[in-house]
Every structure is written in C-alpha cells, then in structure tokens.
Amino acid sequence: MKKYLLIAVLAVASLAAYAQPRAIGGRLGYGAEFSYQHGFGESNMLQLEVGAPGFWGIEAAITYDWIDPFNAPVPWNEKGEWHWYMGVGGAIATYGWGFNNGFIGAAGRIGIEYDFWFPLQLSIDFRPTLGCLLAGNGNGGVAAGFGWDVYAGGLGLGIRYKF
C-alpha cells in the first residue's frame, strides 16, 4: 500500500512540476484588449481577451487554438520561434454609451506569432465572430438579429510577456 501511495505522490508531483507556458499582454486592433494565453503542452492553447471594441463598449472572447496544426510549422526559425495557430470559441459584447446593444456568438481565429529568445511574443491574427446581435429600440424593448461582426475582433496585433 505504501508503494502505491509513493508512486501516486511522485506522479502528482511530476505533473505539478511541469509548468504550462503562459503569456499575458495586450492586443490592438479595432480597440484595445487585455490578452491571456494558457498553453496545454506544445500544440494547444486557450486564449482569452477582454477589451473595449472601438473604445465604446466591452467585449470578451475565448478561443481554443491549435498551434502548428496539420504538423506544418513555419519553416524559418532563426533565434526565436515562429508558430501559426487556428482555433474556435465564443464571444460576448455590449456596445454603445448606454450599453443598450449587444452581441453573443461564435468566434474563430487564425494567426501567426513570433516567440523571441527572451520572454516576449508578438502576434498578428484575425478573429471574426458570427452570432446574434441584440439592439435596444429606445422604448425599453430589444430587437434581435443574426449577424457577422468582424469589428468585435477583426485584425489585431498582440504583444505579450511569456512566463
């Protein structure tokens, strides 16, 4: 019994010692966003962004991204490393001064990043969203519709500190 307990403790300790790569920073595009990446091994990551689209609302998007999908890494790695990634997830937002317009839907992502040999990462990506638009009609009611909202994510340039 003691042997199994020792093996279990060593297994948990070895998993806890394996640090997952993470990065924190910002993303600039149609507005500004706080950005956080959490890696799951070398081929997957979860990316969360919260920001102000067009500087007049609040939005949040989360995507699960595959790094170098199809086993096709970027071929030019000098001092740092290039990676491309793509993923899917969800987005939610509220727009306008009175926050009377909103959006909820699915988000996609495709991008490329460069990891420097020191803890800095630069990226450029495209994150379109597709879903339901909600708009206040001024009389206390809400009108809903289906729409494509590229401005909630759109094209963005990211800079992150890796730890």
pLDDT digits (tens), the chain, 163 positions = 555 544 544 444 444 444 568 999 999 988 899 999 999 988 999 999 999 887 788 889 999 999 988 887 777 767 888 899 999 999 998 877 666 788 888 999 999 999 999 999 999 999 988 888 777 666 666 666 666 555 556 899 999 999 9
Strands (E), the chain: 22-29, 31-40, 44-53, 57-67, 81-95, 101-115, 120-127, 129-136, 142-148, 154-162
Q: Is residue 66 part of a domain?
A: yes
**CATH number reported for the structural domain that contains residue 156 in this entry:** 2.40.160.20
Bridge partners (DSSP) listed for residue 147:
131
Position 118 scores a pLDDT of 93
Q: Is residue 16 part of a domain?
A: no
Position 21 scores a pLDDT of 86
What is the total count of domains within the chain? 1
Q: Is residue 10 part of a domain?
A: no
Q: Is residue 140 part of a domain?
A: yes
Q: Is residue 13 part of a domain?
A: no
Q: Is residue 141 part of a domain?
A: yes
pTM: 0.79
Q: Is residue 51 part of a domain?
A: yes
Nearest-angstrom CA–CA distance, 36 and 14 = 25
Contact predicate 38/24, CB 8 Å: no
Residue 61 sits in which domain range?
22-162
Number of residues assigned to the chain: 163
Q: Is residue 6 part of a domain?
A: no
